[in-house]
Chain A
Amino acid sequence: MAYAIGAACIDIKDKTCMDVCPVECIYEGGRKLYINPVECIDCGVCVPTCPVEAIRPLEEFDGGDIEFATDNATFFSEALPGHEYPLGNPGGVSRTGTIGVDTTLVSGYHPR
């Protein structure tokens, strides 16, 4: 199932979710955070920590930001700007540090 982070996170990046994720599967892009759907264990601990309620189960992305349900996966499955290879499943944010760039979808959003 997995959870995903929606548009509400863009230019907010509170990062409390990263503090609580027990498998460190929330990664930091330039303007937004992304959940790795393969590494996510569906525990849901991150959901209530988000101050802008950006984190929802995939099937609840049915409104204006439905494309974000797949965009979290795209962050890992396709090579990001400036990256030769996709990130894949790095096994925890402590191994990668801040990624610093975003998917095309997120980069296309106007700054808040």
Chain B
Amino acid sequence: MSDVQNHDVDILIVGAGPSGLYAGYYAGFRGLKIAIADMLELPGGQITALYPEKKIFDVAGFPEVLGRDLVDRLVAQVEPFAPIWILGQRIEGLERSGERWSVQLSGGGRVTTTVVVITGGIGTFEPRALPVGREYEERGLIYYVPKPTELAGKNVVIVGGGDSAFDWAMALEPIANELTLVHRRETFRAHEHTIELVQNSRTKIITSAEVTAIYGEEQLTSVEVTLKSGSVEVIDAEVVVAALGFVAHLGPLAEWGLEMSKRTIIVDTAMRTNLPGVFAAGDITEYPGKVRLISVGFGEAAIAVNNAMTVIDPSKSVFPGHSSENT
């Protein structure tokens, strides 16, 4: 999904978690040209990375909603406004360019934008690396399986014991040649029903074991697995899926000249940061009385975008009008 294109927009939203997606909706409602960027390959931020299968009980109007369903609905809410999705890329730098901002993307492209809304949450999520074999990244070692069919007929080793590991095992079991799941511990952390299905499938499961070496030439060819007992097994594999969860880093944001407090950005009541035309919303903001919840993030996103509107077009009012009027 990386693209080296340059974009020119009214508003760049940095972070595609719940607050960012909802900021996208409001920007669309105000008729703005939108780009939404995130380091993850998928929208949803913390929900997607940490608890897609967890039920959320504090979203107004939803007595209970599954994490991934909430993300799907937020995406559906912004999608009609045709945002430019810049996923799987890091925002490297933020530079003032006249009255606007020029933003460098890790993929080489640039975004020129009038305002920036930072909805960076607890930072950028990066897949947790295996302790060995990083040199085989993109040569057989992968962290996501967006298209399972691409792995049809291959020998695949999945490493991990959580929901992603088991979801991908389910997806690959019918199509892979040989499928092995390696997990460090004896017990798994995935959905019980999924664990049962995988255990009863032809997937070979090795527990209390770690990947201790990855071998190959051009491409990855095999994996060395060491059991707690000390015995070693080498498994033929063309693909290793490391599903070890995510680690959050604040990333380059700390270098942008924003007034910060620990991992958070100081904002005023209009969600303005100390930089002109740069707003923030969601878990990343800090002010007296701050409460870090999704519902607060939604409110802050609406405040940030509607105040940003007056920076983009000073003739416009902060108040957007009621969405129910636009039918």
On A, residues with C-beta under 8 Å from B are 14-16, 19-20, 22-24, 38, 41-43, 45, 49, 51, 92
Q: List 8 A-B contacts (CB under 8 A).
A: A16-B185, A19-B184, A19-B244, A20-B50, A20-B245, A23-B122, A43-B46, A45-B51
Separation in Å of the A27 CB from the closest CB of chain B? 15
Q: What chain B residues lie within 8 Å of A20 (beta carbons)?
A: 50, 162, 189, 245
A50 to B244, CA, bound (A): 17
The reply to whether B51 and A22 contact each other, CB–CB distance below 8 Å, is no
The reply to whether B189 and A22 contact each other, CB–CB distance below 8 Å, is no
A43 to B292, CA, bound (A): 10
Q: What chain B residues lie within 8 Å of A49 (beta carbons)?
A: 189
Interface size on B, residues (CB 8 A): 20
Residue among A19, A23, A42, A92 with max Cβ neighbours from chain B (10 Å): A19
The reply to whether B248 and A22 contact each other, CB–CB distance below 8 Å, is yes
The reply to whether A23 and B244 contact each other, CB–CB distance below 8 Å, is no
Separation in Å of the B185 CB from the closest CB of chain A? 6
A49 to B125, CA, bound (A): 20
A interface SS class: loop
Q: What chain B residues lie within 8 Å of A51 (beta carbons)?
A: 187
On B, residues with C-beta under 8 Å from A are 46, 49-51, 122, 125, 161-162, 184-185, 187, 189, 244-248, 262-263, 292
The reply to whether A22 and B185 contact each other, CB–CB distance below 8 Å, is no
Given A16-B185, A45-B50, A45-B51: A22 and B263 interface contact (C-beta under 8 Å):
no
Q: What chain A residues lie within 8 Å of B246 (beta carbons)?
A: 22
Choose from A19, A22, A38, A41 the contact partner of B49 (Cβ within 8 Å): A22
Residue among A15, A22, A41 with max Cβ neighbours from chain B (10 Å): A22
Separation in Å of the A84 CB from the closest CB of chain B? 26
B250: nearest residue on chain A (CB-CB)?
A23
The reply to whether A22 and B122 contact each other, CB–CB distance below 8 Å, is yes
Known interface pairs A16-B187, A43-B50; 9 further A-B residue pairs with C-beta atoms within 8 A, sorted by A's residue number = A15-B185, A19-B244, A22-B49, A22-B245, A22-B248, A24-B247, A38-B262, A45-B50, A92-B247
A14 to B208, CA, bound (A): 12
A51 to B292, CA, bound (A): 27
A92 to B128, CA, bound (A): 13
The reply to whether A41 and B122 contact each other, CB–CB distance below 8 Å, is yes
The reply to whether A16 and B50 contact each other, CB–CB distance below 8 Å, is no
A108 to B304, CA, bound (A): 52
Q: What chain B residues lie within 8 Å of A92 (beta carbons)?
A: 247
Q: What chain B residues lie within 8 Å of A15 (beta carbons)?
A: 185
Residue among A14, A23, A24, A38 with max Cβ neighbours from chain B (10 Å): A23
Separation in Å of the B14 CB from the closest CB of chain A? 18
A51 to B311, CA, bound (A): 52
